[in-house]
Chain A
Amino acid sequence: AQSVTQLDSHVSVSEGTPVLLRCNYSSSYSPSLFWYVQHPNKGLQLLLKYTSAATLVKGINGFEAEFKKSETSFHLTKPSAHMSDAAEYFCVVTTGSARQLTFGSGTQLTVLP
């Protein structure tokens, strides 16, 4: 069984300040982990993925995430927020089958001017 918990339903930051979106996972096997972003009225876009290679994963638009097995976490970070980062972010876990994606509840990121 697998599950994912996004610890914050809403995060608000000022433009130019760091972003931290938290995600904890549970999986019986070695997981693959993803972050997707959904802008208003748009589909989901893959930001980055972890698949048992380097624990620090770099994605698009300056985002990165670090896989910490001891903490069962996969937090998403960005050094400096941009207005265009305002969106819904989903943490997703799978045990390796593209069918068995489990989505977190989502975190709404607001970027203040």
Chain B
Amino acid sequence: SAVISQKPSRDICQRGTSLTIQCQVDSQVTMMFWYRQQPGQSLTLIATANQGSEATYESGFVIDKFPISRPNLTFSTLTVSNMSPEDSSIYLCSGGTAAGDEQFFGPGTRLTVL
């Protein structure tokens, strides 16, 4: 399986500020994704991080709120901008390989917005 790390593991932020989450994957991964898991809920795909180009966002998510970068094959960042308490969630990075159709998940970033 692929190894995926994220940081920070958790953070408490003030309303109106922004937080950038980093995700590092090992070389097996070719595709990278960002998910949100709101309290007590399942996972919702935010976007696919594309290497060297703009991310592909799912319905309900926009670049201005969740800018994503992927400067190389193994690294991506997700920024949660102008945060409000409704953004309090776990944000997970995942990676998929060209050979298989499962995804491997990072440990997640637990974000609390006050």
A32, A45, A90, A103: most-surrounded residue (chain B CB, <10 A): A103
CA distance A34 to B43 in the complex (A): 14
Interface residues of B in 10-43 (CB under 8 A from A): 31, 33, 41-43
Q: B31 touches which one: A96, A99, A106 (CB < 8 A)?
A: A99
Interface residues of B in 60-114 (CB under 8 A from A): 92, 94, 96-97, 100-108, 110
Q: B103 touches which one: A41, A98, A104, A106 (CB < 8 A)?
A: A98
**Chain B residues near A90 (CB, 8 Å)?**
42-43
CA distance A99 to B96 in the complex (A): 8
- Residue in B closest to A106 when the chains form the complex, CB atoms: B42
Number of A interface residues in the complex (CB < 8 A): 22
Given contacts A41-B110, A43-B108, A44-B92, contact A101 B103 (CB under 8 A): yes
Interface residues on B, range: 20 to 34
> A67: shortest Cβ distance to chain B, in Å?
15
Q: Is the CB of A46 within 8 A of B102?
A: yes
**Chain B residues near A26 (CB, 8 Å)?**
none
Q: Is the CB of B97 within 8 A of A98?
A: yes
**Chain A residues near B108 (CB, 8 Å)?**
42-43
CA distance A98 to B100 in the complex (A): 7
Cβ contacts A70-113/B at 8 Å (1 or 0 each): 00000000000000000000100010111101011110000000
- Residue in A closest to B95 when the chains form the complex, CB atoms: A98
Given contacts A49-B102, A98-B101, contact A43 B42 (CB under 8 A): no
Q: Is the CB of B107 within 8 A of A43?
A: yes
**Chain B residues near A45 (CB, 8 Å)?**
105
**Chain A residues near B110 (CB, 8 Å)?**
41
CA distance A106 to B44 in the complex (A): 12
Cβ contacts A15-30/B at 8 Å (1 or 0 each): 0000000000000000
Q: Could you write out 13 A-B pairs with CB less than 8 Å apart? A: A43-B92, A44-B105, A46-B1, A46-B102, A46-B104, A49-B102, A90-B42, A98-B96, A98-B100, A99-B31, A101-B103, A103-B42, A103-B43
Closest 5 pairs between A and B when the two form their complex, measured CB to CB = A98-B96, A43-B107, A44-B105, A103-B42, A43-B105
